[in-house]
Amino acid sequence: MFGPRADDLTSRFARELVAARATAGLTQRQLARRAKISQSFVSQAERGQKVPSLVVMHRLASATGHDLAIRLYPADGVRLRDSGQLRVAELIRGALHTAARVRLEVPVAPAPDRRAADMVLQTTTEGVQVEIERALLDFQAQLRAAQLKRSGMADQLGRAVRLVIAVPDTRRNRAVVDNHRVIVESALPIPSRRIWSSLRSGDRVGGDGLLWVRLPSSAR
């Protein structure tokens, strides 16, 4: 049951390694030297014939100037209900303009890829993907994962899709965002107030942004 999925992940890592090495302008020999492994191993890894250990994957990623990110996705069921994210989704949906079409847990790619966008809002003017993060544990990794899902959703819809990352308005989450202020302002420039205003009025969000959601005290 795990064979095909494991093969798919191995192939994906191989493709991304080739792309990362090319972006860095490295030969296989140069990459091998930086990662302290053999060139033959690099060659086999890039062809999906060898599965590097997690430590070696990290060394290969670092040697090409990249970060290695690993994330677990639910295999079955509705993640929003399982994690408590549904409450955040309900608050957002309750504020939406009546013309907006809302879908929850929308697959972003064909099987066996099980990733799903938490919420997809569609109006006559734009599509908005809302990713709900109850806690910002590794902001850069969470942002990258959301951006990758948005890319898949845009391909599926055949149109540009805005990305909104919704997080509970807590001191902890505010502190994480403050520590990543430059990244937030660059990748998510639309302010929370403007996003809320656009969602309520049905106007265009017009860009990517971070949405602060105030939860009732009992739900925090």
Residue scoring higher pLDDT (95 or 8): 95
Cα angle 74, 10, 36 (rounded to 5 degrees) comes to 120
Split at pLDDT 50, 70, 90, the class of 4 is low
How far is Cα 205 from Cα 191, in angstroms, rounded to an integer?
Answer: 10
Q: What percent of the chain has pLDDT over 90?
A: 59
Question: How far is the C-alpha of 121 from the C-alpha of 129, rounded, in Å?
Answer: 6
Given a cut of 50, whether residue 142 has pLDDT beyond it is yes
pLDDT at 119: 94
The answer to whether residues 56 and 86 belong to one domain is no
Other C-beta atoms closer than 10 Å to the C-beta of 44 total 15
Q: Which domain holds residue 16?
A: 3-63
Residue 149 token pair: 């899902």
- In terms of domains, do 24 and 125 share one? no
CB 123 within 8 A of CB 166: no
84 and 110 both lie in a single domain: yes
Q: Is the pLDDT of residue 218 over 70?
A: no
Tally the domains of the chain.
Answer: 2
Instruction: Give 74 or 126, the one with higher predicted confidence.
Output: 126
**What is the mean pLDDT of the segment spanning 17-35?**
92
Q: Which has the minimum average pLDDT: 4-8, 51-55, 146-150? A: 4-8
